[in-house]
Amino acid sequence: MNILHMKYAVEVAKVGSLNKAAETLLIAQPNISRSIKELEADLGITIFDRSSKGMFLTPEGENFIGYAKNILKQIEQVEDIYKNGAVKKQKFSISVPRACYISEAFAQFSKSLSFDPAEIFYKETNSQRTINNILNHDYKLGIIRYAENYDKYFKTMLEEKGLSYEMVTEFSYSLIMSADSPLAELDEITFDDLTDYIEIAHADPYVPSLPLSKVVKEELPDNIERRIFIFERASQFDLLSENPDTFMWVSPAPQKVLDRYNLVQRKCVDNKKVYKDVLIYKNGYKLTKLDKQFITELCESKRKHLNKSNS
């Protein structure tokens, strides 16, 4: 398949006429006509319906022109890099759990970016989607979160999928609530104290090789009868701030975040469960300069906010 023929076809599709395409491309009209016929013969499809009113794409032609545009765009990008000396963009991508200490690390990391062109992707989601993002969607780094008792399930799955893993931190969840909540006034909070309140929760727990029903039962126990499921962190904080009857389990949050939303953070004396945040990436992947910068900020944020809370 000739790239020039493809370029001619895209132009004809754009202007709807052989004559107009010939004027734009500065090519004789018979040459364009012959090139498109050769292209159709090579592909075994009819790209255009010809009429006295012009050239119109067939359904097959519409599909082909979509592919052709993408191919020509990629060719232009390659030529830009290797012929015109275009500056190569720095790239960084990470998929993470919803956590204040991680988002703060990312904010500090963003301040360290140079003036060079860069594309940065930051995605908050659950562990299953984080793993999928690395395996299938070209994300380079991920942080997954799971309860300590599920350690063997996750490590077995990561090894089977060819993913390396490194411990970031271990912690127990804290409770956050409005400063106006009656819970905030208690000297000591137990599981029983939470029964009459509304839990703000994520609806996407995941553990490999275990039925979802079993995981949900452990991660969302039935002692709480009212739950609101919200996936986006800012909306969670807005709701917690406005409704003193709500609470949420979180990894320890920075004080400035709590102050921003008029929230307080408390321990629950009954909560002994330990969670792990684990950094993952494909086996053989070499960390870039940007990766290392983010990990440095992540360790600093963990030291400031999690180590202090766990001590």
pLDDT tens figures, 192-201? 999 999 999 8
Helix or strand holding residue 120 (H, E) = strand 118-124
Domain boundaries, the chain: 3-82, 90-171+275-310, 174-266
CA 202: distance to chain centroid? 16
Assess if CATH 3.30.365.10 describes domain 174-266.
no
What are residue 42's phi and psi, to 5 degrees? -60, -40
C-alpha distances (whole Å) from 207 to each of 140, 157, 167, 197, 233 are 21, 10, 17, 27, 22
Q: Is the pLDDT of residue 311 over 50?
A: no
Q: Which residues pair with 280 in a beta bridge?
A: 142, 165
For residue 145, give the 3-state DSSP assignment.
strand
- What's the confidence (pLDDT) of residue 26? 87
Pair type for strands 118-124 and 90-96:
parallel
pTM for the model: 0.68
* CATH T-level fold of 90-171+275-310: D-Maltodextrin-Binding Protein; domain 2 (3.40.190)
Same fold, 90-171+275-310 and 174-266: yes
Query: pLDDT tens digits for 250-277?
Result: 998 889 999 999 999 999 999 989 999 9
Asked whether the beta carbons of 61 and 46 are under 8 A apart, the reply is: yes
Alpha helices in 16-58 (DSSP H): 18-25, 29-43
Query: pLDDT tens digits for 202-257?
Result: 766 666 655 656 656 667 777 888 999 888 888 999 999 999 999 999 998 889 99
Which residue is associated with the tokens 């020039």? 4
Class in CATH terms, 3-82: mainly alpha
* Separation of alpha carbons 264 and 175, rounded Å: 8
